[in-house]
Amino acid sequence: MAWLVVRLAISLSLLYTASAVFEDQVGKFDWREQFIGKVRFALFDTHSQASKKLLVATDKNVFASLNSRTGDLFWRHVDKTGPEGHIDALLMYGQDAVVVVGNGRLLRSWETTVGGLKWEAVLDTGSFQAAALIGVQDFVKYVAVLKKSAISLHDLSSGSQIWVENLPDSDTVQYQTIYSGGNGLVFVLGFVPSSHIVIVEYKIEDGEIMKKKSVEAAWMSSLENSCAVISSGNLLCVDQITQSLYTLPLQSAEHTEMRQIHLQTLDLEVASGFQPVLTSTQPNPAQPPLAEFFLQLSPDHHILLQLKDDLIAPLRDFNPSYLAAFATSGEKTVAAVMTPKNDTVSHISKTLFLKKVFLCIYLYCNGLFFLLKACSINLFSADTGRRHLDTTIIYHMDPNGGKPNRLYVHAFLKKDDSVGYRVMVQTEDLTLTFLQQPGRVVWMREEALADVVTMEMVDLPLTGTQAELEGEFGKKADGLLPMVLKRLSSQFILLQAWMAHLWKLFYDARKPRSSVKNEVTIDTLSRDEFNLQKMMVMVTASGKLFGIDSKSGTVLWKQYLEDIQPNSIFKLIVQRTTAHFPHPPQCTLLIKDKDTGLGSLYVFNPIFGKKSHISVPALPRPVLQTLLLPVIDQDYAKVLLLIDDQYKVTAFPSTKNVLQQLQDTASSVFFYLVDSSQGKLSGFRLRMDLSTELIWEVVIPTEVQKIVAVKGKRANEHVHSQGRVMGDRSVLYKYLNPNLLAVITESTDMHQERSFVGIFLIDGVTGRIVHEAVQRKARGPVHFVHSENWLVYVYWNSKFRRNEFSVLELFEGAELYNSTVFSSLDRPHPPQVLQQSYIFPAPISTLEATLTEKGITSRHLLVGMPSGNILSLPKMFLDPRRPELISEQSREENLIPYAPEMPIRTEWFINYNQTVSRVRGIYTAPSGLESTCLVVVYGLDIYQTRVFPSKQFDVLKDDYDYILISSVLFGLFFATMISKRLAEVKLLNRAWR
């Protein structure tokens, strides 16, 4: 109870200093974008015509409902990460969606209108194979789940298990598919590789095995893609090696062998090396599937076939065609096929012949690729293969995007009973495009942004007028008069711009609000007066780069880098900012393969997203470390050093000028390498000839502990005050070592009594261990922030089962050894280290500190929590000098008395109810205002906001009462006038008396 009071008192005392959001600030400078990830299953709600629902299940273990008219989320359920939350199957019937989760562990049924869970059933363990809805007499009542060794049937309305049966010979037979035609039987299909197919027939009511038969199939290698059930229980398989189709009626007892149909008899041939794919459709689970099916013979060749009277007849050949899909509306089933648009090809080739060569080259660079990649989607009737008239959708592929790889079709009946349709196309770069006729993009989602790996914020370029003004200061003085004239002219330009702005405001004010839209485009981008609007350059795991306007969240440019390995590591480096007009800003992305370590560089302009045509050094050896030096070349680009596994250094850019400068500064360039597999940290120095020499080495034995993270300080961080003024007016100087590295280790012994977390503070130049701390009975994951003279880290206390914060602060003492320059080589006195720990009563997913332009503003820690909230915790609470006993001096210093538990107030959540799912990282950047720090939180969602750790002390508040102040001023003015007049009258009267 007493502690409660203390806590309350402390939190009350800090109410004034901590930042919080006002209700009217909602959406003013913050925005959130919600994502779902790569779509694995997508189903349109065809239950009713007016339904706008699109149900999706993704590889991020997200199950969501999208509004198919706008692309917005109706609701979204984010499950656990990893295989335990993996969505294996999505089935939909009426208003209910059934999802199989976690390798067949859970079966969930969702009500799709509001997104509520109807029931959840836990299934037996066993690897999941297939799931299907089972209908009885035109009515879908059950869902069947096939595992490796068992099949179970569940009631669709309650989730209760009807029966579960073990599959016969499950150790030899691989059961893979399940089929039911609505006739009271469930077929389970399995096979023994290169031997035979097994068909087991179950009765729906009690799970009794009705029949079991095996059919010879020596060619069989997989059931899943190469087989399909069509037309009232005919199993159809395709084999690439024998180039034939095989059919078998499932129910008939007399057939003991599959009927072989050579593809040659149909004039077909499977492309070499391509596994042919069969696609059938079963519009209603209570009815047998249709007799028509697609056979994909090569990546761009589909054919629509029909099985009729045991004969297979081709209905239509689609060559070339990229994608094909079935869709059903009411009684009609249609097939949509995406084909390359033919006329554009011929058009281009004509242009190529007619126009001159240079134009051709120009077209080739800019237009040809784009135009050739326009596709048309057409609708065909499934039962005849006839093309529906006026159903073409033209799909223009993004020239900076990837190829389409999935097609989802939403067919609906129009008023005149013809079939209309819309399509959703998913591309390799995870863009979802929703199109309607004749090719209008209804909405677009960039799902690659669900997996942002790293990001940077780049200042926007100045406008022409601003650049004009700035340019005035940079140039050398050429006499008084020209200077004055120049100033006058630039001021005049400014005035002109201001007038134009006013005119625009006036003009817009007359228009209705809806039509006024401040569209942000690349051309109108310019820096605002406080540099609050920046360009967010985001790198995603799929290899797509984005440029996003930080003010509105609009994607301004995107670039898909093809042939990126899925397990690549990315490092984004800003080599030149926008400050060096007319040189364009320059970003470099280092793409490194996780396994081989081989890397490549991609250089681009972060504002426009265009690739720079700068020659990039080839990196034949694995890159171990990168280093951005403050050395700049004649084009103002900072020099990037890349160190390979033979400790050779490659400089980029490597002009003569740069090499010269590097030779001059080589003796003061040090870098470190971490080898966590051997537990080795080593320091190197650059030599004049760009080779390196080993200076120090610290070995942390891997038998006991392993290095989990090494972090230096941020290069763009400023520390405003050199020390802290104590209560007795003396100064405690901070130990501000820019070369300090924080090394976090975790014990290999994970037993909760013996596990520990180790913290080493190592000077990166000399290799001296400045401080060493061990947190016993603790384990990771450790999140930490290393800044100024402090290190804050969070670990899990396994004894008390709680998260704990610990803060280390380093001080030089009452005197500075060398106050002008810090040198790691000349520091005889070790720093004083203070430490304190606190309980954090919530789980943590990430940790970052705010950053401001000059470092005057107090610091806050931004704590990302699994619940999706971002807590802004004042660094004041993490001060190792918090006293246990309050003295006069501590009061003078404004130290909060020590309390073991850290307060969490919902007012400190900077993102109020805009929760960010699966926070992966927080990026902070200073703005032009000292009080303001820009924050981007990324994970499954992206959230951008501004925080004011010490409140907005350098600008007028949002709620500044202009009316009050002006009314008071006017009131006073008039009062003065009136009283002056009265006084005059009075004087006059008195004079007359």
**Positions in 615-644 near other proteins (CB under 8 A):** none
- Give the DSSP H or E segment for 362: helix 357-363
Q: How far is the CB of 774 from other proteins (least distance, A)?
A: 10
Q: Which stretch binds other proteins (CB under 8 A): 4-12, 338-346, 410-418, 650-658?
A: 4-12
For other proteins, the binding residue among 10, 146, 397, 537 (CB under 8 A) is: 10
Instruction: Of 320, 269, 327, 329, give the one whose Cα is nearest residue 299.
Output: 320
Q: Which of residues 899-928 bind other proteins (CB under 8 A)?
A: 900-901, 906-907, 909, 912-915, 918
- The answer to whether 461 touches 608, Cβ cutoff 8 Å, is no
- The answer to whether 374 touches 397, Cβ cutoff 8 Å, is yes
Q: Does 866 bind other proteins (CB under 8 A)?
A: yes
For other proteins, the binding residue among 14, 493, 614, 736 (CB under 8 A) is: 14
- Give the per-residue contact string, 874-893, with other proteins (x = CB under 8 A; - = no): ----------xxx---xx--
Q: Which of residues 929-988 bind other proteins (CB under 8 A)?
A: 949-951, 953, 959, 961, 964
Closest to other proteins by CB, 163 vs 898, is: 898
Q: How far is the CB of 841 from other proteins (least distance, A)?
A: 5
Q: Does 719 bind other proteins (CB under 8 A)?
A: no
Q: Which of residues 209-238 bind other proteins (CB under 8 A)?
A: none
Q: Does 23 bind other proteins (CB under 8 A)?
A: yes
For other proteins, the binding residue among 567, 634, 894, 979 (CB under 8 A) is: 894
Q: Which stretch binds other proteins (CB under 8 A): 5-13, 359-367, 402-410, 521-529?
A: 5-13
User: How many angstroms separate the CA atoms of 260 and 257, rounded?
Assistant: 9
- Give the per-residue contact string, 24-43, with other proteins (x = CB under 8 A; - = no): x-------------------
Q: Does 728 bind other proteins (CB under 8 A)?
A: no
798 DSSP assignment: T
Closest to other proteins by CB, 143 vs 545, is: 143
Q: Does 896 bind other proteins (CB under 8 A)?
A: yes
Instruction: Of 540, 544, 556, give the one whose Cα is nearest residue 460.
Output: 556
- Residues with Cβ within 8 Å of 161's Cβ and at least 6 positions away in sequence, in order, are 121, 152, 153, 154, 155
- Residues with Cβ within 8 Å of 362's Cβ and at least 6 positions away in sequence, in order, are none
Q: Which of residues 769-788 bind other proteins (CB under 8 A)?
A: 776-777
Q: How far is the CB of 892 from other proteins (least distance, A)?
A: 9
Closest to other proteins by CB, 218 vs 956, is: 956
Closest to other proteins by CB, 437 vs 836, is: 836
For other proteins, the binding residue among 48, 67, 70, 81 (CB under 8 A) is: 81
Closest to other proteins by CB, 469 vs 856, is: 856
Q: Does 443 bind other proteins (CB under 8 A)?
A: no
Q: Which stretch binds other proteins (CB under 8 A): 36-44, 335-343, 461-469, 854-862?
A: 854-862
Q: What is the torsional sign of CA 142, 143, 144, 147?
A: negative
Closest to other proteins by CB, 122 vs 769, is: 122
Q: Which stretch binds other proteins (CB under 8 A): 299-307, 501-509, 529-537, 858-866?
A: 858-866
Q: Which stretch binds other proteins (CB under 8 A): 8-16, 46-54, 258-266, 524-532?
A: 8-16
Q: Does 400 bind other proteins (CB under 8 A)?
A: no
Q: Are strands 670-675 and 649-652 parallel, antiparallel or unpaired?
A: unpaired
Look at residue 866 and give its three-state secondary structure: coil
Tell how far CA 657 is from the center of its chain.
39
Closest to other proteins by CB, 763 vs 848, is: 848
**DSSP annotation string for 227-273:** EEEETTTEEEEEETTTTEEEEEESS-SS--BPEEEEGGGGT--PPTT
- The answer to whether 323 touches 317, Cβ cutoff 8 Å, is no
Q: Which stretch binds other proteins (CB under 8 A): 136-144, 348-356, 664-672, 834-842?
A: 834-842
Q: How far is the CB of 144 from other proteins (least distance, A)?
A: 20
User: How many angstroms separate the CA atoms of 635 and 383, rounded?
Assistant: 66
- The answer to whether 91 touches 131, Cβ cutoff 8 Å, is yes
Task: Provide the 10 A C-beta neighbour count for residue 184.
Answer: 15
For other proteins, the binding residue among 38, 108, 316, 734 (CB under 8 A) is: 108
Only one residue has tokens 């942004």, namely: 449
Q: Which two tokens stand for residue 387?
A: 């093309």
Instruction: Of 790, 891, 770, give the one whose Cα is nearest residue 834.
Output: 790
Q: Does 837 bind other proteins (CB under 8 A)?
A: yes
Closest to other proteins by CB, 613 vs 801, is: 801
Q: Does 729 bind other proteins (CB under 8 A)?
A: no
Q: How far is the CB of 896 from other proteins (least distance, A)?
A: 7
- The answer to whether 880 touches 900, Cβ cutoff 8 Å, is no
Closest to other proteins by CB, 42 vs 865, is: 865
- Give the DSSP H or E segment for 473: helix 464-474
User: How many angstroms separate the CA atoms of 344 and 455, rounded?
Assistant: 38
Q: Which two tokens stand for residue 716?
A: 């763009």
Q: How far is the CB of 849 from other proteins (least distance, A)?
A: 15
Q: Which of residues 804-833 bind other proteins (CB under 8 A)?
A: 804
For other proteins, the binding residue among 103, 161, 625, 752 (CB under 8 A) is: 752
Closest to other proteins by CB, 292 vs 804, is: 804
User: Which residues are bridge partners to 280 per DSSP?
Assistant: 293
Instruction: Of 844, 777, 773, 830, give the one whose Cα is nearest residue 806.
Output: 773
- Give the DSSP H or E segment for 510: helix 480-510
Q: How far is the CB of 110 from other proteins (least distance, A)?
A: 9
Q: Left (φ > 0), alpha (ψ -120 to 50) or beta: where does 132 sit?
A: beta
Q: How far is the CB of 853 from other proteins (least distance, A)?
A: 14
Only one residue has tokens 């990460």, namely: 81
- The answer to whether 547 touches 452, Cβ cutoff 8 Å, is no
Q: Does 864 bind other proteins (CB under 8 A)?
A: no
User: How many angstroms separate the CA atoms of 647 and 420, rounded?
Assistant: 63
Task: Provide the 10 A C-beta neighbour count for residue 131.
Answer: 22
Q: How far is the CB of 719 from other proteins (least distance, A)?
A: 14
Tell how far CA 446 is from the center of its chain.
10
Burial 216-227 (b: 16+ CB within 10 A, else e): ebebbeebeebb
Instruction: Of 742, 429, 743, 666, give the one whose Cα is nearest residue 562.
Output: 429
**DSSP annotation string for 648-694:** -EEEES--HHHHHHHHHHGGG-EEEEEETTTTEEEEEEE-TTS-EEE
Applying CB under 8 A, the site for other proteins has a residue count of 87
Closest to other proteins by CB, 410 vs 918, is: 918
Q: Does 6 bind other proteins (CB under 8 A)?
A: yes
For other proteins, the binding residue among 362, 800, 973, 974 (CB under 8 A) is: 800
User: How many angstroms separate the CA atoms of 873 and 903, rounded?
Assistant: 9
Look at residue 787 and give its three-state secondary structure: strand
Q: How far is the CB of 154 from other proteins (least distance, A)?
A: 15
Q: Which of residues 113-142 bind other proteins (CB under 8 A)?
A: 114-120, 122
> Based on the number of CB atoms within 10 Å of its own CB, is 937 exposed (0-12), middle (13-18) or buried (19 or more)?
buried
Closest to other proteins by CB, 61 vs 578, is: 61
For other proteins, the binding residue among 56, 268, 844, 851 (CB under 8 A) is: 844
Q: Which of residues 670-699 bind other proteins (CB under 8 A)?
A: none
Q: Which stretch binds other proteins (CB under 8 A): 15-23, 150-158, 499-507, 680-688?
A: 15-23
Closest to other proteins by CB, 79 vs 763, is: 79
Q: Which stretch binds other proteins (CB under 8 A): 110-118, 368-376, 521-529, 687-695?
A: 110-118
